Each structure stands twice: as C-alpha cells, then as structure tokens.
Amino acid sequence: MARRTKAEAEQTREQILDAAESVFLERGVARASLEEIAQAAGVTRGAVYWHFRNKADLFDAMYGRVHLPMQDLFDQVVGLEEGNAIEALRTFCVQSLRCLASNARRQRVYTILFHRCEFVDGLQESNERLIAIRDRWLARMEDLLRREQTRGRLPAEVCPRLAAITIHTAMIGIYFDYLRSPHAYELDAQAFPLIDLVFRALS
C-alpha cells in the first residue's frame, strides 16, 4: 500500500504531526525517536522522512500549526488604530490565557516549547526564530504603549519599553508556571484577575 491520493497524503502528514505532539510531550523532544512517532501515527519512519527532512523540521511544522494563528491575532489587535489600545491589549492577554486553558493542542505544544525541548544543535534555528518573534512583539508593544502615552492613557512616569518588557515577561511567566503544573491553576477563571493585577502597574 503506497502512493495514496494527495488528500490522503496530507492526512497522514497531519497524523504524523499529531503523533509528534503526543510523543514530544511525554518523552521530550530529544529523547523522542522518529520510530516512536511513526508508530504512534500508524506509519513507518519512511513516511516521516518523506514528509519532513528530520526531527527539527518536524518540530518546526508542529509548532507552526499553533503559533502562526496566534501571531496573526496579535498583529491584528496591535494594528488597530482607533479605540483604547491598552484595553485591547489587555483583552488580548486575557483571551490568550483563556485559549490556552481550553485548547488542548495549544497546551501540548506550548508545554513542549517551555518544558520539553532543548534549544541546541538542530533546534538552534528554531530558537533564533522564536527570539525574532519576541523582538517583534516587544517592538510593536512598545510603539503601542508610547502612542497611548501621548494620549494620556499611560502614566508619564512609566517607561514604555520597560512596560512592554513587563507585560511580555509576565505572560511568559504565567505560561511557564501554568504549563509546569496546570492542576495548581484554574486558569480560565483566573485569567482576568491575573491580567488585571498585572495591568494595575500601568495605571
């Protein structure tokens, strides 16, 4: 059995990505073998190497499946001109946490990113891409905050760049801590009060 139709091939590709998520999660990226992933997907390593060059390529594709939509949403929120942008940013942060709490795939993928992978050797480039994304986030948030400051929506004594770093690191910290022990949180309920407390610093 080989040479499936294009649609079937795309389906096995998705199956492999699903399997990679689950195997990376329980075994860690480094200790996960492509053989395990193939078995979990119901195929052989041949199929994996057909769809992906190696483990790093598979990793990138897996993380891209959830990160690209999120980044689009962020760009959309930050880009809008009218209205209270800080409020929009705050809402985005709350929604981001709520989405994390309710979306199992996002939980798995970000748990892998924060707690199940070592960014060395093969994943070095992935890491540099993540850093580049972070820099764009920071720059856009800083612009937003500086703009709002001129409109009197951010206290004059607050440095826009430091505020952007604070919000960014606060989100990172919550993601990290929540994904390390999700049972310690009720994130869906605590998302709003948590972000509310963080944003108290900006008022």
Partner DNA sequence: CAGGATACATACATTCGCGTTTGTTTGCTA
Partner DNA sequence: TAGCAAACAAACGCGAATGTATGTATCCTG
Which residues of the shown chain bind DNA in the complex (CB under 7 A)? 1-6, 8-9, 12-13, 31-36, 38, 43-47, 49-51, 54-55
Which positions lie near a second copy, rule CB under 8 A?
A: 26-31, 115-121, 127, 131, 134-135, 158-159, 162-163, 165-166, 168-174, 176-177, 180-181, 184, 190, 193-194, 197-202
35 binds, options a second copy, DNA, none, Cβ within 5 to 8 A by partner type: DNA
CA atoms within 13 A on the CB side of 2: 4
Is the CB of 41 or the CB of 97 nearer to DNA? Answer: 41
Is the CB of 24 or the CB of 137 nearer to DNA? Answer: 24
CB of 88 to a second copy, least distance (A): 20
CB of 109 to a second copy, least distance (A): 15
